[in-house]
Structure 1
């Protein structure tokens, strides 16, 4: 069993910006209990960062705007969804953050798929402490997707090119699941590459946290040769 690490002292350059926290929480309009749970998540991210490089060290000081706000915006893109699947969960972005915030919706549940055991240990501990409705599964993506046909939403952040994400999630996107895939400035190039193999219905949503980033929302999928 992996021991829970103690929190290292952060350099001043990594100190969490409290103004960012206040701004993100106000925009998200979450309850006091959810805000407290997000604080616990941030503290756990701090504790575990020295055990496993969960996020880029340079982004820790901006965790609220670079990670939490980036994840929370997905909730508004699927306002009635209650069952979510997060692929390659890593540090729980966006999946665990969505579970923390989405628990105010009746029946909300997020399955977190992660093949790295140490990262799963972090996710399990953070989910326990925040009381998030999240189930951590230490599995490869290829072994997990088939068990989630019928899920409302599948998401993945900074995991793989779009054509690979569509390949992994084909059993879901051909049976009614919506995909939310945050992408950077190369979103259009990834769409063009994916269109060589796939026909898909999608729209591009401008990210609230980065003007050049886009969220690809896919609502239907089929193979070009089908």
Structure 2
């Protein structure tokens, strides 16, 4: 029988008496215990229930080797990503089987038990398994430290201490890489358009990349990201 997807909050990692060097109290850091499925057939996995945008909950595999969030077209369809105007540009994603076509976009919220993140870069591509709908990589887990308790069959996510030099919990490298990737995608499709290969489709991809850049720019401004990082 599948384990319950209900998560359990465990004791905070920072005690209430702990203070900073300046005498101010350190913020309390939460930790969340989330049950997981340990097998996909005979293969060992860490499969957890993940909720997207507060509305769609599906099984996802945790993969520390994956740099970002990968979701299946089925999940994207349930989230209405194909029909909205938030931006979605065609790109290529690499894997064990080589390079495949994929779509690049952003997901508003991702939640695993009590652990939650916002404005997550996502790649939409076909799922590699019938047991889960995608992969959660380090782009989500960078906000948390985590450990796997194989005996209790739970993943424990612990919030990390906020970094004043990381707007919204993202460091300079993260912000620069997001802008760099979207600028590169836009410029590549713009070159295709100018070369006439095929113009109408390439023009649409340029516009989609620009929508994503606009979303990223707004999000960066809301979080006071330095212009030099953009």
TM-score computed with the length of structure 2 as normaliser: 0.26
Structure in which a larger fraction of residues adopt strand: 2
Structure in which a larger fraction of residues adopt helix: 1
Larger Rg: 2
